[in-house]
Amino acid sequence: MNGRPAPRAVAFDLDGTLVDSAPDIGHALNESLHACGLGSFHLQQVRAWIGDGPDLLIARALQALGRAGEAELQHTLRCGFDHVTLQAPLAHGAVFAGIQDVLQQLQPARPLVVVTNKPGVLARAVLDAAGILPCFRAVYGADEAAWRKPAPALLQRAAGELGLPAHELLTVGDSVADMRAAAAAGSPAVFARWGYGAEHALPAGPRWRIDRPAQLLDVLGAAG
């Protein structure tokens, strides 16, 4: 790895990387919109908005509805979104095929964490519903706007709490924000092509792009 030590830990994004949660995110968004007498959006549109956390998701929906900038409505929708999500965190989606096997193989050798733009309480609920929460040493959610990727804050915090320099924490994600956060933190990155991100919009990195979760084992084997 250009003379640097091999990764000693792995930080995974959540939505679009570990779990195909778009159906649940779309359901929570549409239920909160319906409760306010507003329209709904098809899954394909919602999927394109995923990756920056629920506040920006809702802001994009309101923009599309011609209701941008209505702070009270935004707050009401966010409360409704959280309520629906916590009632059934992964009732419509699922863990991506191959993820559980990869986690089981990685976990004994390296600490694993989740770094996500989803708020921590929602992220832990989804991981618990998916049955993979015990695989992770910690879950870092964007509970404050300043922590939201592409800011490197959560990756830096994760590395620090693991006692590692950021260049020994491998980032795995499916979005431009994931890759930019990794670059800003100095973390090597793997782009997950099975997710929701627009690969054509990626910055110059990442070093690796993989089509299936199992290929992450090959990346780590080569890096080691």
Among candidate residues 87, 114, 134, the one where a domain is terminated: 87
| Active-site residue set | 13
Are 16 and 120 in the same domain?
A: yes
Are 100 and 81 in the same domain?
A: no
Answer whether residue 25 shows pLDDT above 70.
yes
CA–CA dist 212, 223 (Å, integer): 18
Structure tokens at 39: 């329209």
Asked if residue 4 belongs to a domain, the reply is no
pLDDT at 22: 98
Structure tokens at 18: 């570990």
pLDDT band at 1 (very low <50, low <70, confident <90, very high): very low
For 4-44, where are the E strands, in sequence order? 9-12, 19-20
pLDDT mean over 192-211? 87
Q: Is the alpha carbon torsion for 184, 189, 195, 197 positive or negative? A: positive
CA–CA dist 56, 138 (Å, integer): 24
Looking at residue 47, what DSSP letter applies?
Answer: H
pLDDT band at 73 (very low <50, low <70, confident <90, very high): very high
What tens digit of pLDDT does each residue of 130-147 get?
999 999 999 999 999 999
Paired with 9 in beta bridges are 169
What tens digit of pLDDT does each residue of 82-133 get?
999 999 999 999 999 999 999 999 998 899 999 999 999 999 999 999 999 9
pLDDT at 5: 66
Could you tell me which of 140, 137, 148, 143 has the C-alpha nearest to residue 82? 143
The H or E element containing residue 213 is none
Could you tell me which of 72, 88, 73, 74 has the C-alpha nearest to residue 28? 88
pLDDT mean over 196-208? 82
pLDDT band at 176 (very low <50, low <70, confident <90, very high): very high
Asked if residue 34 belongs to a domain, the reply is yes
**Which residue range is the domain that position 44 belongs to?**
22-87
Alpha carbons within 13 angstroms on the beta-carbon side of residue 142 total: 25
Mean pLDDT for the chain?
Answer: 95
Among candidate residues 87, 121, 137, the one where a domain is terminated: 87
**Whole-prediction pTM:** 0.95
Are 79 and 114 in the same domain?
A: no
pLDDT at 54: 98
pLDDT at 224: 57
The H or E element containing residue 206 is none
Asked if residue 75 belongs to a domain, the reply is yes
